[in-house]
Chain A
Amino acid sequence: MANENELAKLEQSLATWQKKVEQSLAKFPERGAFAANRLYTPLDTAGKDYAADIGLPGEYPFTRGIQPTMYRARLWTMRQYAGFASAEESNRRYKYLLSQGQTGLSVAFDLPTQIGYDSDHPLAQGEVGKVGVAVDSLADMEALFDGIPVDKVSTSMTINAPAAVLLAMYIAVGEKQGVAPARLSGTIQNDILKEYIARGTYIFPPTPSMRLITDTFAYCSQHIPKWNVISVGAYHIREAGSTAVQEVAFAFANAIAYIEAARAAGLKIDDFAPSISWIFTAHLDLFEEVAKFRAARRLWARIMKERFGAHDPKSQMLRFHVHTAGSVLTAQQPDNNTVRITWQALAAILGGTQSLATCARDEAIGLPTEASARMALRTQQLLAHESGAADTVDPLAGSYYVESLTDGIERQAREYIAKIDALGGAPAAIEKGYIQREMAESAYRYQRAIETGVRTVVGVNKFAAAEPQAADFLQVDPTVGEHQSARLAVLRAKRDNIKVAAALDALRREAAGDANLMPCLVDTVKTYATLGEICGVLREAFGEYKAEADI
């Protein structure tokens, strides 16, 4: 924060320096065209109001972090994304990760579960247990958390379209363990809008989907106060090809739509906003990523205060999980991925994340082995305990470059949100295909940059080497689908089918009305009605979403 006199002097000396640069360029031309300027100085951050724009950690607008002492008090939660094959096998992986120092669980479900089909559904063929664990009923959920006390560990579940059903199962697992809902802590992703634009595991059309989300908001604010009712997915928007600015802007636009829906349903902002959490990516550009997290925190605080009149600081705080970007990992020379993941994780830490998942080095090839999953966790532990990056709060604040990037990302994200508002908000912008087109355009530009050599990918378009692929990747047992189907047959024969039918009938009636569906879902899962049966009833009541294939 130099005064005007100093700035004027700086401008003069920069003009002189520029001549030196010209001479240097004549002799040593720069390597290429760069997105960032050559140099950042106090001129780039002149006019900033430190108190209003940057402030102190733990205070509005939270640019420097949401807690006053950040990692000096408590490190981020190390929460590796895991799940594959059967509930028993995933349960073993969770216990292994917890034994190795992981501090929270993150459940990956397989695609049939995410789309509300039982493992014996024809469309589930070949998919059971592949990208996550298969959960067909409460019986699988009980096996998944067998021996894991749900009052001691927080659990994040990557589940969207049927999130309300899986949350109901988790509540039931808690009850069996003698843990009341109020003592459960964790997260359901529950962000359906980004499924339509980026991730593709939708079931129902937007309107009933928004109802399910609002129902979980209302239910949790009353019964499970520690539960994060949504984890708004910026991650998936970026992974689908967006830029950093689009990642922030499109996720914020979706969150604004959820808040507006909840308010329209009569909820008060400060009653539910503190339970909104986020998931962002950590991409490759170290400084841009740090700035992205800082800009997102500030912009969200301002939106909550200025647009929604939130008073509770907890409503204004952007609390987020970061998962390092999987899409930038390469099948070629997978050891390089460990290095990429390390600085991606560093960006998340310097950006003040609350929770972190690091990819495993072999994710461009298949699911992580136990050894590569451990290495990914160790990467976080090394950064936490040896690098010094966690020892001071928001260490990059005041960097002319980082502050200038932070301002730029906030400004451009605001512009995008204004455009989406003008289109009628995120649901309308999605319906018009606007967001999808913007993302596809960025994805194509990124790919062109790699293929034309503008962007270097080490080991792929530069420094490539012929080498055989490592053979020690994880193979999911191909019979897991058959096993899961056999278990379903036993379950259907053993359970009280009269109770199941009555519960499903009740759900059918409730779904046709407008009462909160959560209590009914909790009752229904306890009869061991399957996920496919429950979603089948909801499919009949709500209809199914059909996406347009727009390229």
Chain B
Amino acid sequence: MPKNGNVERRTILKAAGASAAALGLATTTGCGGDSGAGDGNVTLRYAWWGGEPRTIAIKKSIALFEKKYPKIKIKPEFTDYAAFWEKFQTQASGGNPPDVFQNAVGFLRKYDKRGVLLDLKAQADAGNLDLENFRNGVLANGQVDGKQLGIPVGANTMALVIDLKAFEKAGVEAKFGWTWDEYFAALQKIQDKLKIAGDTGYFGIMYLYDLYLRQNGKAFFTDTDLGFTEDDLTQWWEDGYKRVKSGLVADPKKIEQVQPKSGLSAGLAASEFTWDNFSIRYEGEGESDYGLAPIPTTDGKDTGQYLGSLMMSAFSGTKHPKEVAQFISFMVHDPEVGKIMGYDRGILATTEQFDAFKPTDPNNKGVAAYEDEVAKAGVLGKITPHPSGADVVESAFLRIGGEIAQGKTKPADGAKALFSEAKAAFAG
């Protein structure tokens, strides 16, 4: 028994030690995230989404920045698009989002409403951030209710990416000002001659439907709501479903199979509506040659297009707003950064960077030429507002569009579901 007692005492001590160790561990990890302002050095967290080429380019740009501002260190965080916003939301609700992060118009109001975004105007007024020299008025993309919540890094517009070989073989030509009827006639010709679908599934793309609505004097969103009716959408989806059935639009089952590859680069269809800078990706994925074609119109003139952009935003609670502003200013204006980034995030937004980067490969050249043409055609309008909850509505639009294409939901029921989901999203 006395022996036993000894063992007990020892075990008690050990157990206590283990708990203390666990607590100690917790406290040490607790102070890990300090940005160490004591010696004048500042560490900023910078988060973005995107593929590997973007990550390599951004890291190079960061190295340049750190050389120029030796007292500011940038800690990078990156993931793919879907994971980015899930992670960001969790971090932001815990009061610990990155100091600087990539942003897009669909999220501006949502996170402004939640008090996460820093109004960068004050920093611009203080001379830490340069708001000059933005091209084609894209700076407005980052403005909400008079606040500057995002600084555009690039600009892009919706386009029709086409399989050049397929279009040539079918003898179809895409031209500025062509109408939707002409577009669908072209798809028919492609189907007749080449026995493949013409389009990958246009009716599930929210940004394209937005253009169509704009051509008809409406828009997808108003400041707080949807800018169209259930009947409008039912019509749009009914037409889409008919074209899937007739084979004009690719079989959604096949499109689903090749994900994350696009139906266009997988050779399932001859064209796809998407953002113009995405076309660069198809060249790497697919076997054909790809080019950019104009958006079809309703009246032979107005495409409804506008310049969208990726931006850099900052956390309202950052301890280092000055350094954050300096970093953003450097990333959007420095010519060297422009040369490194190229058109990965759209055509460079500031004149300094735009002039510094002269594309040499046909893809980047093609994107530049396309935007040039669109700008010259004078069709560029102002960006549509995106209320808080726009991101949720966009994924619902894509999902329900897919259900309709698969024949699992009737267009009218789908439209009804979208309206009810949008209502919940706007309220959230």
Asked whether A and B interact, the reply is: no
Interface residues of B (CB under 8 A from A): none
Interface residues of A (CB under 8 A from B): none
